[in-house]
């Protein structure tokens, strides 16, 4: 199906199942421990061996020698895989560093060996006996130190630099100006389920049960790395225990499990140990951001410039923290620039809302600072500079843009009018109270997606697509789509996901998964409806599918009759035309946060949070709400605690476990409220939906930062906002 014109009336618009806050159909499996995650697939292999990954002890250099003698002689050890005996390996299209290092070392904890043994404990004990001698080399580990060596590098989804009008001239002429620098640290995905895989060979065919967000990408990169045909690779990822972008690509667990299984001739299980994950896999890279804003005295932005520096391995990608600045606010004279410096740290790559999450952490503080300079309310300043067209491409309107409505609604619900704009004026006992806000923004991406739908003689509709569920509710919204389209109750729908033998979907990532994958299911159901109507002698354009029947005029036929004994199967997908070129498709929101700051210790406590989102049709308000409040929680972590601390001498993340890498826990998170504006976007997809999972994190950290400033009068521009950055500047409150 080609989606080239705006969606108008279609069966989805019945909203009998779609749009309802239904509980997850996979919930019982997860709450009873029956959901089969990758490492736990006891049902698919027998007599597995276990692999334990050895990571490099240096960040830059080479392996001089590696002594495996004692490890090979250890009880239960079956084989040890290294770059010397693994055979020729390619590199997947989406891998920056080699997944099996040696002799050259590209970053700390790069995998250099896999010890395979009869039990996990034996593999771990054997790994302790691997002795490696290294020749160290000088590396670059400090972004600030190498910032000026940064080169233009295009981030995902846009050019490195953009320019409209004459920014320098307009900024110099502006009567009110801001010129400030902000920093964000390296951050870790820290998902609950580690990277884990089981590999099994059947002749020259490989099956990987793995934890992966993008099945088709994984198949292609496994095949390329192992130099085998794609048709010889099967990936299965039925359930994923969190990913946040860290499982978009093939990682060392999957590759090494495959190599180990090939050598020992039996299935091999590999899970990356938690302390290895932080340096071995990907992370959100640190940024340095300079933002300049010029405005007239009445608050109209006349010049806005955003420059970003991030670091990565030499062939890596830039973070792209300037992305939202190209679209969020009006202003005739504009400039953005993205610079990437080479660092010898682990690979920086996609983490929930890559680019915008980091960029909004800076931009939305800058907007508040500019509002204060102008003597304007922060919300009114944002509304004053709202726009319904792409500021860099004035001929392209937004398909939907309700940013102003998000702020107006949120301000009323949160009690913004009671906020004292003067910092440090509101107290509750020992707590200094502040309220802050920030815009939320994330682009709406659409990706080609397909599905197979089958109707059997009992009226059961089975959906198969390689779409994954990373905790987002994919199973449920796909089931709702099929139920709505085929006119059956939810319990009559079976959903099978995450298998490369199924039609290729969008996969889970970039906030495109829910909208795109359900659109693919919609397309397959349209085809199945046509087949059913033809089989039963109905005009497909007139046939109504409802309550398990097909109806037209005075005729009613049970849906199951069309299946007969053989059943009916249809397969189709949606390919998006150029509507996203004609219209700028984005999602919008507003975050509101109240904090308390201890007047004596500068301890920060988040007291209340509200998010108002405009993100197209909400397919399931219950699962969507879960996504947004989870993202809000991550935003609190980004604001107040999350930081991968770099040892700038040795070149590694020091706090590489969940004991030292701090993330919010229940006690850190207060009452969270969220509200969806009533919105459908017919330009986005047949579902008229958009993504929401990443919108919820964009802007949260800056709303916290702005609230802290309102509470204390101390402006912190370097994340995370820890008490040591407040203490010396805290007002003397007696």
For the annotated catalytic residues, the residue numbers are 694
First to last CA, the chain: 69
Between CA 566 and CA 248 the distance in angstroms is 38
Task: Convert 641-680 to b/e letters by CB count within 10 Å (16 or more is b).
Answer: bbbbebeeeebbbeebeeeebbbbeeebeeebbbbbbebb
Question: Do residues 475 and 443 touch, judged by C-beta distance below 8 A?
Answer: no
Alpha helices in 443-512 (DSSP H): 474-486
Nearest-angstrom CA–CA distance, 599 and 171: 38
- Secondary structure class of 584 (helix, strand, coil): strand
674 strand-pairing partners? 611
Strands of the sheet containing 49-55, edge to edge, are 77-82, 111-117, 49-55, 268-271, 196-202, 205-210, 233-236
Interatomic CA distance for residues 460 and 593, integer angstroms: 46
| Cα 44 from Cα 487, distance rounded (Å) | 35
How far does CA 182 lie from the centroid of its chain?
23
Q: What SS3 state is found at 220?
A: helix
> Which stretches of 203-274 are assigned E, i.e. beta strand?
205-210, 233-236, 268-271
CB 125 within 8 A of CB 74: yes
- 532 touches 568 (CB < 8 A): yes
- Rounded to 5 degrees, what are φ and ψ at 204? -100, 15
Can you say how many angstroms the Cα of residue 168 is from the centroid of all Cα atoms in its chain? 35
Instruction: Give the tokens for residue 569.
Output: 């199967």
Task: Give strand pairing partners of 183.
Answer: 288, 718
CA 591/CA 378 separation, integer angstroms: 12
Smallest CA-to-CA distance from 281 within 166, 370, 189, 395 is with 189
> Measured at the alpha carbon of residue 639, what is the angle toward residues 637 and 642, in degrees to the nearest 5?
45
Cβ–Cβ < 8 Å for 655, 661: yes
How deeply is 172 buried, as exposed, middle or buried, from its count of CB atoms within 10 A (0-12, 13-18, 19+)?
exposed
Name the packing angle between helices 621-640 and 700-712 (round to 10°).
Answer: 50
Residue 428, number of CB atoms within 10 A of its CB: 9
Helix (H, G, I), strand (E, B) or coil at 11: helix
Say which DSSP state 491 is in: G
DSSP 654: S
Strand segments (E) across 175-243:
176-184, 196-202, 205-210, 233-236
Helices within 42-154 (DSSP H only): 69-73, 120-128, 143-146
Which helix (H) or strand (E) segment holds residue 49: the answer is strand 49-55
Cross-strand bridge partners of residue 549? 546, 558
Q: Pick from 118, 105, 116, 23: which is nearest to 57 by CA?
A: 105
């Amino acid at each position: 199906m080609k989606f080239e014109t705006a969606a108008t009336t279609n069966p989805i618009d019945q909203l009998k199942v779609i749009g309802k806050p239904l509980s997850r159909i996979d919930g019982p499996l997860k709450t009873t421990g029956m959901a089969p995650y990758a490492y736990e697939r006891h049902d698919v292999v027998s007599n597995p061996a276990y692999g334990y990954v050895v990571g490099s002890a240096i960040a830059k250099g080479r392996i001089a020698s590696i002594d495996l003698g004692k490890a090979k002689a250890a009880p239960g050890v079956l084989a040890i895989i290294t770059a010397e005996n693994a055979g020729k390996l390619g590199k997947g299209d989406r891998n920056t560093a080699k997944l099996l290092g040696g002799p050259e070392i590209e970053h700390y904890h790069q995998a250099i060996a896999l010890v395979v043994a009869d039990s996990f404990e034996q593999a771990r004990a054997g790994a302790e006996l691997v002795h490696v001698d290294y020749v160290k080399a000088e590396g670059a580990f400090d972004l600030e130190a190498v910032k000026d060596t940064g080169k233009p590098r295009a981030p995902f989804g846009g050019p490195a630099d953009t320019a409209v009008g004459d920014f320098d001239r307009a900024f110099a002429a502006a009567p009110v100006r801001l010129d400030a620098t902000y920093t964000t640290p390296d951050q870790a995905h820290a998902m609950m389920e580690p990277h884990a895989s089981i590999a099994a060979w059947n002749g020259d065919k490989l099956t990987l049960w793995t934890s992966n967000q993008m099945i088709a990408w994984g198949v292609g990169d496994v095949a390329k790395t192992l130099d085998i045909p794609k048709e010889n690779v099967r990936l299965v990822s039925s359930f994923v225990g969190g990913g946040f972008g860290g499982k978009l690509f093939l990682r060392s667990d999957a590759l090494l499990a495959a190599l180990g299984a090939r050598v020992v001739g039996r299935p091999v299980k590999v899970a990356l140990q938690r302390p290895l994950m932080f340096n071995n896999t990907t992370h959100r890279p640190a940024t340095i951001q300079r933002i300049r804003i010029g405005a007239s005295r009445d608050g109209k932005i006349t010049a806005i410039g955003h420059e970003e520096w991030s670091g990565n391995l030499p062939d890596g990608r830039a973070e792209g923290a300037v992305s939202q600045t190209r679209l969020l606010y009006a202003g005739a004279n504009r400039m953005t620039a993205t610079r990437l410096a080479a660092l010898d740290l682990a690979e920086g790559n996609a983490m929930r809302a890559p680019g915008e999450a980091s960029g909004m952490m800076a931009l939305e503080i800058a907007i508040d600072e500019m509002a204060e300079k102008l003597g304007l309310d922060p919300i009114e300043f944002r509304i004053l500079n709202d726009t319904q067209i792409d500021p860099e491409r004035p001929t392209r309107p937004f398909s939907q843009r309700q940013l102003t409505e998000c702020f107006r609604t949120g301000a009323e619900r949160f009690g913004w009018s009671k906020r004292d704009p003067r910092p440090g004026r509101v107290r509750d006992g020992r707590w200094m109270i502040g309220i802050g806000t920030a815009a939320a923004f994330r682009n709406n991406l659409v990706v080609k997606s397909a599905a197979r739908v089958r109707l059997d003689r009992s009226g059961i509709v089975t959906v198969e697509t390689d779409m994954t569920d990373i905790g987002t509710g994919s199973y449920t919204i796909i089931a709702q789509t099929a139920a709505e389209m085929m006119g059956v109750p939810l319990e009559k729908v079976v959903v099978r996901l995450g298998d490369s033998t199924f039609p290729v979907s969008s996969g889970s990532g970039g906030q495109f998964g829910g909208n795109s994958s359900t659109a693919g299911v919609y397309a397959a159901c349209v085809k199945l409806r046509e087949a059913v109507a033809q089989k039963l002698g109905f005009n497909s354009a007139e046939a109504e599918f409802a309550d398990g029947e097909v109806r037209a005029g005075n005729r009613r036929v049970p849906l199951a009759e069309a299946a007969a004994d053989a059943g009916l199967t249809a397969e189709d997908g949606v390919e998006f035309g150029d509507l996203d070129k004609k219209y700028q498709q984005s999602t919008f929101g507003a975050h509101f946060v109240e904090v308390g700051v201890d007047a004596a210790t500068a301890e920060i406590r988040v007291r209340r949070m509200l998010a108002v989102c405009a993100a197209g049709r909400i397919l399931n308000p219950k699962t969507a709400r879960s996504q947004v409040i989870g993202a809000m929680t991550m935003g609190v972590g980004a604001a107040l605690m999350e930081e991968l601390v770099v040892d700038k001498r040795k070149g590694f993340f020091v706090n590489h476990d969940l004991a030292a890498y701090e993330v919010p826990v229940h006690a850190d998170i207060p009452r969270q409220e969220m509200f969806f504006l009533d919105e459908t976007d017919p330009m986005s997809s047949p579902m008229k939906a958009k993504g929401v999972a990443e919108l919820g994190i964009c802007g949260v950290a800056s709303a916290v930062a702005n609230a802290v400033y309102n509470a204390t009068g101390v402006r912190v521009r370097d994340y995370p906002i820890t008490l040591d950055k407040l203490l010396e500047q805290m007002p003397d409150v007696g």
